[in-house]
Amino acid sequence: MLKKLLLIITAILMLASAYLVLFYAPIPIDSKQTVADDPNDFKIFYFHLPIAISAYLAFTVVFISSILYLKYKTQKWDIMAYSGAEVGVIFAFLTLVSGSIWIRSGAWWAKTWWVATDVRLNTSLILFLIYLAYLMVRQAAEEPEKRARLSAVFGIVGFIGVPLSYLSIRLWNKSTLHPIMEFHPSFNMLLTMIVCFSAFFLLTASLIILRIDNEKIKEKINELKRAKNL
């Protein structure tokens, strides 16, 4: 019942955020923005930022769950870490895609899909590749305990990419065109951002919960198969 309620609330907030962004929210302004062919293109910011933070949130779930697995050796933490990684990779990919669209709109003084020398873009890409590698490591290891242990270590070490990605525009501000948003948000903007963040955070939680349920069912099926073979 609670899961269904969560999905319903998530769906309502996603629809509400789309409406607010399209018809209610003002165009966001930042210190490095240039004039676009259509200023409304900059509104993708309202989706780009919550998606990026949602990826960080999912990878934080991987980090914490990996630590708990190494401490307690309980399968549920391995499943949660794996589920968080899968959801995080999806959001990290969407971060790259939405960021590229934002660049192309003219928000970085360069109407191109990618700036190869930009530190924020590169650290975001590296973060995506780290957790893509995490998923590949899981596929490569067949023995369950060994797979869980290797994944946990990878999930802990790989988390360093999250703060590096987030802080990159401040640590290497001369090596990025990525804007640091400098504005005094209006009520319209605040309301839209609150709804968008709520929608994507609940979407992240919903997807992780669904993946956990799927993995639990898969593990039960595998146990039945192993018992049958014995």
Domain range annotation of the chain = 42-178+186-229
Rounded to an integer, the average pLDDT of 135-148 is: 89
End-to-end CA distance of the chain: 37
Percent of the chain with pLDDT strictly greater than 90: 59
Rounded to an integer, the average pLDDT of 22-30 is: 80
Please give the DSSP secondary-structure letter assigned to residue 28: P
Virtual CA dihedral for 217, 132, 206, 149, nearest 10 degrees? 50
What pLDDT does 31 receive?
44
Name the more confident of 194 and 40. 194
Residue type, 79: I
What pLDDT does 21 receive?
94
Q: Binning pLDDT at 50, 70 and 90, where does residue 230 land?
A: low
Segment 149-184, tens digit of pLDDT: 999 999 999 999 999 998 887 777 665 666 665 556
Segment 76-114, tens digit of pLDDT: 999 999 999 999 999 999 999 998 887 777 666 666 777
Beta-carbon contacts of 65 under 8 Å, excluding residues fewer than 6 positions away, are 77, 78, 80, 81, 84, 155
Helix 144-157 to helix 75-102 angle, to the nearest 10 degrees?
A: 40
Name the more confident of 69 and 33. 69
